[in-house]
Amino acid sequence: MGIRRAWVLTAAIAAASLLYLVPAGMAAPAPRKVAPKPAAADSLTATEFAARFQMRVADQGNCVTLRGSLVTVRLYPGTNQVSVVGDAYTLKDTIQRKDGAIRIPSRPAEFLSRQVLAKRRQMMAQRQAFKVPEVKLPPPAPRPVRRPAAKKPLPTKPTPKPIRAVRPRPAAPDSSWAPFATDRRWKWIVIHHSDDLEGNADKYDRVHREENGWDSLGYHFVIGNGTMSKDGEVEVGPRWPIQKHGAHARNHELGDNRYNEQGIGICLVGDFDEGGRRPTSAQMKALVRLTGWLMQRYDIPAHMVIRHCDCCDTQCPGKHFPWTAFQAHLR
């Protein structure tokens, strides 16, 4: 009996110590948790950046808008494109979306801070300038004596004055055509040919960057001929989503850059000049569709749809481009 009790006791102590040891043994090697380094040193979240300038953040996926009382900043995650009050900039580093936060690397963040401050000063100065004449305005003229209103006929129907700003926007036939940055006041549509037989947006993007030293493809749209993209496929260049000016129609002789600044560049793949070819019917169909939508969306009249050769010293888009037939489609 005594031995058995002792055995039971020993067993109980052993079990208890095992219970103690197992969790203790598991816990022992865990090192003390070190607080993660603050990420602020090499990047800033959009929320942190916005807080600096009392801005509100609206995340629309492709575009993150930081709106302050005077200045609006737009970031395009996954790209190095930003805009400050409608002016587009290309950064050296990419804006990234990580763990649900938009991260602005420190160099761009500093750059953006400077732009925001500069714009703010500019806007403040403009406001001040507008205020001066207000202060100097003479006192309002005495109101005319009221006449009996009985004679005034009631308007039979409301005055149908259209307001441009609230007119509904036509939906793009292809969702990728709709820009996601601030709208610009585009005045022209400039038609080009690529002056080679095979190509696509990627190819000309590479050429424009590597050979011309531009930051990206100069055209806003490229319409394929079935060689390196589908026949009639409309490819959207990197400038279009952020509504950046084009690089396709500078008049070097006159130093005239307005067709780049305010002209939408559309390029059809093909050589319609010396090459002797004509655009494919799928290309022309796509061009009519795209041009029609752009004209409607930006209020561009038919006479402002021009060929490259109409504004610059070039043969582009070539003598075999069916210009008259195309114009007939624009009404």
Q: Are 191 and 268 in contact (CB under 8 A)?
A: yes
**Sign of the alpha-carbon torsion through 222, 228, 230, 232:** positive
Identify the residue among 74, 103, 119, 192 touching Zn ion (CB under 5 A).
Answer: 192
Contact segment (CB under 5 A) with Zn ion among 6-14, 100-108, 216-224, 304-312 equals: 304-312
CA 140 to chain centre: 45
Q: Does 308 interact with Zn ion (rule: CB under 5 A)?
A: yes
Q: Collapse the DSSP code of 264 into the 3-class scheme (helix H, G, I; strand E, B; otherwise coil) and give the result.
A: strand
Beta partners for 89?
A: 82
Sheet holding 263-268, edge to edge: 231-236, 221-225, 263-268, 188-193, 305-307
CB of 187 to Zn ion, least distance (A): 17
Residue closer to Zn ion (CB basis): 181 or 316: 316
Q: At closest approach, how far in Å is the CB of 303 from Zn ion?
A: 19
Provide, rounded to whole angstroms, the least separation between the CB of residue 316 and Zn ion.
Answer: 3
Which residues in 253-292 contact Zn ion (CB under 5 A)? Answer: none
Task: Decide: 120 and 70 in contact? Cβ < 8 Å.
Answer: yes
Which range of residues in 65-73, 94-102, 196-204, 302-310 is near Zn ion by CB under 5 A? 302-310
Among 316, 318, 321, 326, which residue sits at the site for Zn ion (rule: CB under 5 A)?
316
Q: CB of 182: closest distance to Zn ion in angstroms? A: 27
CB of 206 to Zn ion, least distance (A): 18
Instruction: Kindly give the pairing relationship between strand 188-193 and strand 263-268.
Output: parallel
Asked whether 25 and 18 are in contact (CB, 8 A), the reply is no
Q: What's the gap between Cα 199 and its chain centre?
A: 25
Q: Taking CB under 5 A as the rule, does residue 244 contact Zn ion?
A: no
H/E run at residue 45: strand 43-45
Nearer to Zn ion, 192 or 208 (CB): 192
User: What is the number of residues in the chain?
Assistant: 331
What is residue 78's three-state secondary structure? coil
Give the shortest CB-184-to-Zn ion separation in angstroms.
20
| Closer residue to Zn ion, CB minimum distance, 116 or 309 | 309
Segment interacting with Zn ion (CB under 5 A) among 14-22, 179-187, 252-260, 316-324? 316-324
Question: Contact positions toward Zn ion, by CB under 5 A?
Answer: 192, 308, 316
